[in-house]
Amino acid sequence: YCVTDPGAGSDVAGIKTKAEKKGDEYVINGQKMWITNGGKASWYFLLARTDPDPKAPASKAFTGFIVEANSPGIQIGRKKMNMGQRCSDTRGIVFEDVRVPKENVLIAEGAGFKITMGASDKTRPPVAAGAVGLAKRALDEATKYALERKTFGKPIVEHQAVSFMLAEMAMKVELARMAYQRAVWEVNAGRRSTYYAFIAKAFAGDVANQVATDAVQIFGGNGFNTEYPVEKLMTVAKIYQV
Ligand SMILES: Cc1cc2nc3c(=O)[nH]c(=O)nc-3n(C[C@H](O)[C@H](O)[C@H](O)COP(=O)(O)OP(=O)(O)OC[C@H]3O[C@@H](n4cnc5c(N)ncnc54)[C@H](O)[C@@H]3O)c2cc1C
């Protein structure tokens, strides 16, 4: 899924990768960044600007292409070493005079921005679900630890400061789960779900970070150590907010 350029991520309409029609082909030039599975995929979805007029509206200026990953002119960069999710293959990809037949245009020239934004309805809720799974694991680990670890003569779960924290964590996990289920409900009903999909992703991403950070706190010094699971959960959580 090649949308992000080095100079534009959230600002999708700011991408500079361009495609020019020449006869029955399009010639693509530009650079993509942070492409998940960039070194594994056999073909890419690529978003490029096809209308060079800077005043052209985003809804008409961009086109989505299917591009064979082994096309001449494609240079795949080295795997990035990220803060978390280290198994995930994330790379920069350079496109230099890459020729794509016009049949590889998705829907029609100019439809790319809508395709890209529309994809979010179905791709944001599973991302939110991943964030909820991470938060639930952090809650479970912290609860187990709080029942076992003793300070001042009793398990730390019996100190209200800790049990209140666990209660807050549980509330957040349950609400984030309901948020992505609502978004998926809309998709299953055949309705546009952009509103719910983005609420679910933004909320669950925040919840994953808050709950993982609280879990590290409940583990005390052990939480800061790689021998316990919550340290990894805290670093992996960050990507869900990016
Ligand atoms: C591990 C990983 C995998 C990825 N996989 C893919 C992939 O497969 N395909 C793909 O196309 N992209 C992928 N991305 C890119 C990802 O979509 C972008 O990183 C993301 O959209 C943010 O864009 P950016 O990094 O350019 O940050 P920027 O857009 O430069 O944002 C920088 C900061 O400014 C904030 N900001 C930006 N605009 C505003 C605004 N209007 N108001 C307030 N705050 C604002 C942002 O929230 C952020 O905090 C991946 C990124 C990572 C890290």
Q: What is the pLDDT of residues 7-40, one digit of tens each?
A: 999 999 999 999 999 999 999 999 999 999 999 9
Distance CA 90, CA 82 (A): 8
Average pLDDT over the chain reads 97
SS3 142: helix
Pocket of ligand 1 contains residue 194 by CB under 6 Å: no
Give the start-to-end residue ranges of the domains of the chain.
12-110, 114-241
Of all protein residues, the one whose alpha carbon is nearest to atom 29 of ligand 1 is 10
Ligand 1 centroid, distance to 11 Cα (angstroms): 8
Fold annotation for 12-110? Butyryl-CoA Dehydrogenase, subunit A; domain 2 (2.40.110)
Q: How many CB atoms lie within 10 A of CB 54?
A: 7
Pocket of ligand 1 contains residue 90 by CB under 6 Å: yes
- Can you give the pLDDT at residue 90? 97
Residue among 35, 26, 25 nearest 5 (CA): 35
The number of helices, as runs of H, and strands, as runs of E, in the chain is: 5, 8
Question: Among the atoms of ligand 1, which is closest to the Cα of residue 82?
Answer: 1
Of the chain, the percentage scoring pLDDT greater than 70 comes to 100
Pocket of ligand 1 contains residue 87 by CB under 6 Å: no
Under-50 pLDDT residues of the chain: none
Architecture of domain 114-241: Up-down Bundle (1.20)
